[in-house]
Amino acid sequence: MTMSHNEWEARVATVWERAASMRGEDLVQAIDALADERSSGDGLALFERACARDTAGIEAEAERYYRAALLTRDLDSYRRSRAVIQLASTLRILGCLEESEHLLVEELDRHLEAGEERPLHDEARAILALTYVAQGRATEAAGLALCTLAPRLSRYNRSIFGNASRLVSKTWT
């Protein structure tokens, strides 16, 4: 009997529900066991392997799996955004700051150009702000973070956004 895609996804979700209480190597092992049930080039399996390694602090291995997953056409828009954002974050941790910035700017531009629902748009801006900090661009980081926050404030939204947008070259609103 072959397991359906939805059943496989449910089993993966069950592992992630327990992830906070698992040791990193146990999480990687559990996700790898599930990923082994799919073909070696399956983008979803590659993505889950990357996420597990990222969560376990094995960024160098996570990078490889994120890149492989992004080369497939298996990721929906939401997972694709997650993969790009998480790869960019991993690259920041690994010290590849220019590539981290490039991936995030490209992802944010893609959201605007497509005019699509923007999954994880603010999350991409938050990771970009962290990348700016790592690059020594704290003023731009603060500006981008405040532009992201401004719409959620109960008052002074336009004022905060206007002042903060002067600190950064692009806000991706």
Averages of pLDDT over each 10 residues, the chain, 173 residues: 81 97 97 96 97 97 98 94 98 98 95 74 95 97 96 95 93 79
Q: Tell me, yes or no, whether 17 and 51 share the same domain.
A: yes
pLDDT attached to residue 55:
97
pLDDT attached to residue 2:
57
Decide if 56 contacts 25 (C-beta within 8 A). Answer: yes
Q: How many residues does the chain have?
A: 173
pLDDT attached to residue 50:
98
Domain boundary residue among 75, 98, 121?
Answer: 75
Domain boundary residue among 18, 41, 75?
Answer: 75
Q: Tell me, yes or no, whether 87 and 161 share the same domain.
A: yes
Q: Tell me, yes or no, whether 71 and 81 share the same domain.
A: no
Decide if 138 contacts 132 (C-beta within 8 A). Answer: yes
Q: Tell me, yes or no, whether 11 and 28 share the same domain.
A: yes
Q: Tell me, yes or no, whether 4 and 49 share the same domain.
A: yes
Total number of domains in the chain: 2
**Residue among 130, 138, 139 at smallest CA distance from 167:** 139
**Residue among 122, 168, 163, 121 at smallest CA distance from 144:** 168
Q: Tell me, yes or no, whether 155 and 135 share the same domain.
A: yes
Q: Tell me, yes or no, whether 1 and 70 share the same domain.
A: yes
Q: How far is CA 171 from CA 85, 105, 148, in A?
A: 16, 10, 8
Domain that holds residue 118: 77-173
Q: Tell me, yes or no, whether 105 and 164 share the same domain.
A: yes
DSSP E strand boundaries for the chain: none
Domain boundary residue among 75, 95, 110?
Answer: 75
N- to C-terminal Cα separation, the chain: 48
pLDDT attached to residue 118:
75
